[in-house]
Amino acid sequence: MRRLMMLAGTGLLVAACTGVGVPNFTIPPINIPSFSFPPFEIPSGISIPSADGGTGTCAWATTAEVGSIMGATPTISENSGNSCTYTFANFSAVVVSTDSGSDLNTSKMLFGESAKDIQVGGLPAASGTFIGQPAVHVQRGGDQLQVLGILTGSDDATIQKLVQIATLAVSRWQ
């Protein structure tokens, strides 16, 4: 069924772009105007961060620390004020971020039956899976530190690795 829908959609797209004539009925082609962006220069003195995370740093943990815990060396593919993404060669990732206004009850509701109450760095926390992906959420007042594994597997050993990363990040959480 999916293949048939894709074939029908492709046929309609081709018909719309090239024009198709059926006796007593014609579908005219769609004219798509061309557009180009004007050239621009970045003013001197403005620095744009590199998209190459291999040389990036993150306040939560170094790539060596995360690599030691996970068993493979990642690169930092995203680093903002409250979030870091460690990406591995097999396209799995670990995201460490903070969120304000969240609580563990909401986290446990998201984790469903997989939710477990734990302690991380002396703080209350919850671990579990959300949409098949493992996560650890640590609560401190109204703020939450979240460690999410993406395509890492969701077995107990992987969740324990995320707990280790969360413990490291909690020790640096300002």
29 and 62 in a single domain? The answer is no
pLDDT bucket at 71, cuts 50 / 70 / 90: very high
Which residues lie across from 158 on neighbouring strands?
A: none
67 and 2 in a single domain? The answer is no
**Digit-coded pLDDT (tens) for 18-61:** 555 556 666 666 676 666 666 656 565 554 444 344 445 788 89
Q: Does residue 101 sit within a domain?
A: yes
77 and 139 in a single domain? The answer is yes
pLDDT bucket at 172, cuts 50 / 70 / 90: confident
Q: What kind and span of H or E run contains 22?
A: strand 20-22
**69 vs 6 pLDDT, higher one:** 69
d(CA 16, CA 56): 46
How many folded domains does the chain comprise? 2
CA distances from residue 131 to 11, 61, 112, 150 in whole angstroms, order as listed: 34, 25, 10, 10
Give the count of beta carbons closer than 10 Å to the beta carbon of residue 157.
7
Domain assignment of residue 22, given as a range: 1-33
d(CA 108, CA 88): 27
Q: Is the pLDDT of residue 131 over 60?
A: yes
Q: For a pLDDT cut of 90, what percent of the chain falls above it?
A: 56
Which residues lie across from 140 on neighbouring strands?
A: 143
18 and 68 in a single domain? The answer is no
Closest to 105 in 3D by CA, of 126, 86, 128, 136: 126
Query: pTM for this one?
Result: 0.68
Supply the pLDDT for residue 49. Answer: 42
d(CA 26, CA 18): 11
